[in-house]
Amino acid sequence: MSNEERGIETLEVWKMAMQLGEIVYTIVKRWEYFDKRGLGAQWTDSTDSIANNVAEGYGRYFYGENRNFCFYARGSLYESKTQCMKAYSRKLVTNEEYADLKARYEALGKKLNNYINYIEEEAKKNPKRNKP
């Protein structure tokens, strides 16, 4: 079954990233203008970038391209996690929100690494789809 037949909506790592993006957006939305404009805009952008990069890679035919976009997603995850830490240190998120977000980042990071490993295994099975 091809990616087009399955659809991105079936990919667990994408669903987790989408949910995280909505949580971060909801948190940032309540902040004052100054915090929204700086840290808030960067945090929502980097968090949204996780799902966006997973989706873009998913839509590529070649495994190497998909894997590269997953690496970009992982970079965005670490960027977003850092911004979450900044938000916490600046008292813009509660202790409970921070604990929940921290757990979500950890789970998403593991899921993303597993997905990257899966892509690499599939590439070994289908060498014709390794390079454009």
CATH (domain of 64): 1.20.1440.60
What integer pLDDT is reported at residue 5 of this predicted model? 59
The CA distance from 17 to 116, in Å, is: 15
pTM of the model: 0.92
Residue at 53 is within a domain: yes
Q: Which residues form the domain of 25? A: 9-129
Residue at 48 is within a domain: yes
What integer pLDDT is reported at residue 129 of this predicted model? 85
Residue at 1 is within a domain: no
What integer pLDDT is reported at residue 102 of this predicted model? 98
What integer pLDDT is reported at residue 130 of this predicted model? 78
Residue at 83 is within a domain: yes
Residue at 4 is within a domain: no
Are 21 and 51 a contacting pair, CB within 8 Å? yes
Residue at 113 is within a domain: yes
What integer pLDDT is reported at residue 2 of this predicted model? 52
Count of helix runs (H) and strand runs (E) in the chain:
6, 0
Residue at 3 is within a domain: no
Residues 17-37: b if buried by 16+ CB within 10 A, e if exposed:
bbebbeebeebbeebeeebbe
Written as tens digits, the pLDDT of the chain (132 aa) is: 454 557 999 999 999 999 999 999 999 999 999 999 999 999 999 999 999 999 999 999 899 999 999 999 999 999 999 999 999 999 999 999 999 999 999 999 999 999 999 999 999 998 888 776
Number of domains in the chain: 1
